[in-house]
Amino acid sequence: MPEGRKKRVAIIGAGAAGMSCAATLANHPDRFEVTMFDPESQTGGQATSISIDEKKYGASWLNDGVQGGSAIFRHTFRFFRQYGHEPQKVKLQVAFGKGRDNFWTNVFPSPLVDQHSKEIKRLGSVLKSIKYLMPILGVMPVKVILKLFRFSDDFNNKMVLPLLALFLGTGNQTPNVSSVLLERLFDDPQMRLWEYDPDTLLPNLPEMYTFPNLANFYRDWAKDLRAKGVNIRLNSSVAILERGKNGVVLQVHQKTSEHESAAPAGPPEVFDEMVLCCPADEAKKMLDRNATWREKYVLGGVKFFNDITITHSDSDYFQSIFEAKYNPSLTAEPSTRERKDQISFAEQSRRCEKDGWQGFSPMYFIHGYKSDPDKIEMGFDCTHYQHQFRENLGEGSEPRPLEEHVFQTIFLNDQQKHLWTWNDIDPSKIIARKWWHQFGHRWQHYLRVVPGMMFINGQNHTLYAGSWTMVNMHEIACISGIAAAYQLGATYEPFDDFAEDFFSKYLLVCHGTRYKRGKNKQT
């Protein structure tokens, strides 16, 4: 490249990964000329918001894709705060299953917890075994590990698998995920969402965070990137014509409106480097005959599934499959002072607090199918979970009637529609439907895809970013975009020791590059 000329970078995809990559490159306007393409009419990818009736539901907006995370989301939160959008703390309450034989929660002990008390304690030892024998046990599917250590099917299907599915977004592929994810859910400082509790499995009311209005945040982020010189081209689909010594040749189909079906092809455009921040299957399709055998092998190892989220206000349907209200018959014996306190908290009249609710007010739910116990559907009481509803009520207020709550039910894998209960939702109470294309964290993903990333990243003027490169988290998407920019020569700006360590580990695993504190990659 001629000395003094800016490096022309094409970013395909304007979700969290693409925006993070563009933001990092935009810190060097003298060195990079950045163009970002996305087929949608807005930035943000799956991080979306919808408008709802404030008079009817108590808030004017709802995050309907990505909803929140834990304190480990340092890079995500930093981007939020740069534009005045603050994540809000919430004491998380969850409810798994329905009925005395199936229900358990992190708020108070239930008979199911007592029934499996010995297995809960034994799981702690198994987590340690997975940690210390990581190369062998870590890659094994969770279902194999649970069988190997002789846990009961009841414990697996009602407690372990639903927990992993809900918090890592692994859905109905949970039995097939690597057991390392189970261990890291509890033990890894970079991924941990919970502290393991030998009595009830989950600790009482862990601290999580809900995201700000994502549509507004991504709008503000895009506006700032444009002001910094990033050319954001929405409603644009891309075809990769060539990758060679001189860079990458793209042909862009630019729609003149959001609803236009046939987009005219523009002239070929040449870029020095390309960052594919789209799902792996889309990247593979775009590369087509230009893909190397390594890219075909790695990208082809990512398995995607089509899920649908139905946002609705059908409280009768929601209560028919989830335990949405406190029921004293679901409590276990208050055998310790701690248990008595937990039950006493659950029995209290519900009151709004800044960081959650007094009294039993579950936010995350799991429902298992009787006919296929290791398959699930997930639910959210968004009125309990998302902070804007509490802010509008005010601290100390009673909650809105359950009939005025906004719920989400997520139905997983459209190849298993015969199990879904979606036809039981009152059509008049459906607010929105949205399909998602989600990757499954199968054990093969951690044997084939993640270790293979370093062998395709940076080859043929192409880098890859997105949560699919490791774990389905908004934070991983952000880190992956920053890492791609770093590999192109942008500076990583340390702001937090924990975040810097997380970034360095991702860089090593997915790019094969060792990050040294205080030193940035030279290109």
Q: What pLDDT is attached to residue 196?
A: 83
Specify if 11 maps to a domain. Answer: yes
Q: What pLDDT is attached to residue 518?
A: 63
Of 45-49, 52-56, 171-175, 496-500, the poorest mean pLDDT is in 171-175
- Per DSSP, the three-state class of 155 is helix
Per the structure block, which two tokens stand in for 129?
């075994």
Asked if pLDDT for residue 399 goes beyond 60, the answer is yes
- H or E stretch at 456: helix 453-456
Specify if 279 maps to a domain. Answer: yes
Of 169-173, 249-253, 300-304, 397-401, the poorest mean pLDDT is in 169-173
Specify if 272 maps to a domain. Answer: yes
**474-487 helix and 497-511 helix, angle to the nearest 10 degrees:** 70
What is the DSSP code (8-state) at residue 267?
-
| Domain count of the fold of the chain | 1
Specify if 319 maps to a domain. Answer: no
Specify if 170 maps to a domain. Answer: no
Label residue 424 left, alpha or beta by phi (over 0 means left) and psi (-120 to 50 means alpha). Answer: alpha
> Mean pLDDT over residues 470-480, rounded?
93
CA distance 484 to 459: 12
389 and 383 Cβ atoms separated by less than 8 Å: yes
Q: What is the CATH number of the domain that holds 218?
A: 3.50.50.60
DSSP 147-213: HHTT--HHHIIIIIHHHHHHHHT-GGGGGGSBHHHHHHHHS-TTT-----BTTTBS-SS-EEEE---
Q: Nearest 5°: phi and psi at 91?
A: -85, 110
Q: What pLDDT is attached to residue 258?
A: 56
Q: What pLDDT is attached to residue 435?
A: 94
In which domain, by residue range, is 482 found?
7-47+213-303+443-511
Asked if pLDDT for residue 188 goes beyond 80, the answer is no
Specify if 447 maps to a domain. Answer: yes
> Mean pLDDT over residues 121-142, rounded?
85
488 and 32 Cβ atoms separated by less than 8 Å: yes
Residue 308: beta bridge partners? 411, 435
Other Cβ atoms less than 10 A from the Cβ of 179: the count is: 26
Q: What pLDDT is attached to residue 133?
A: 83
Instruction: Give the HSE-up count for residue 467: Cα atoms under 13 Å, Cβ half-sphere.
Output: 23
Tokens 């949560």 belong to: 467
In 58-178, alpha helices (H): 74-82, 111-115, 117-132, 142-148, 153-155, 161-168
CA distance 356 to 205: 9
Q: What pLDDT is attached to residue 75?
A: 97
- Give the pairing type, strands 304-312 and 407-411: antiparallel
405 and 35 Cβ atoms separated by less than 8 Å: no
pLDDT in tens, 227-257: 999 999 999 999 999 998 889 999 999 887 6
In 3D space, the residue among 313, 312, 415, 409 whose CA is nearest the CA of residue 367 turns out to be 409
Q: Which has the higher per-residue pLDDT, 27 or 128?
A: 27
Asked if pLDDT for residue 190 goes beyond 80, the answer is no
Asked if pLDDT for residue 523 goes beyond 80, the answer is no
Percent of the chain surpassing pLDDT 90: 71
Asked if pLDDT for residue 263 goes beyond 70, the answer is no
> Mean pLDDT over residues 11-33, rounded?
97
CA distance 242 to 251: 10
Report angle CA 462, 468, 470 to the nearest 5 degrees.
100
Q: Nearest 5°: phi and psi at 441?
A: -80, 55
Asked if pLDDT for residue 135 goes beyond 90, the answer is no
- H or E stretch at 89: strand 88-91
- pLDDT-derived band at 80, boundaries 50, 70, 90: very high
> Mean pLDDT over residues 473-496, rounded?
96
Residues with Cβ < 8 Å from 419, sequence gap 6 or more?
369, 371, 372, 375, 377
- Give the pairing type, strands 61-63 and 49-51: antiparallel
In 3D space, the residue among 209, 211, 197, 210 whose CA is nearest the CA of residue 163 turns out to be 197
pLDDT in tens, 485-521: 999 999 999 999 999 999 999 999 999 999 977 666 6
Asked if pLDDT for residue 121 goes beyond 60, the answer is yes
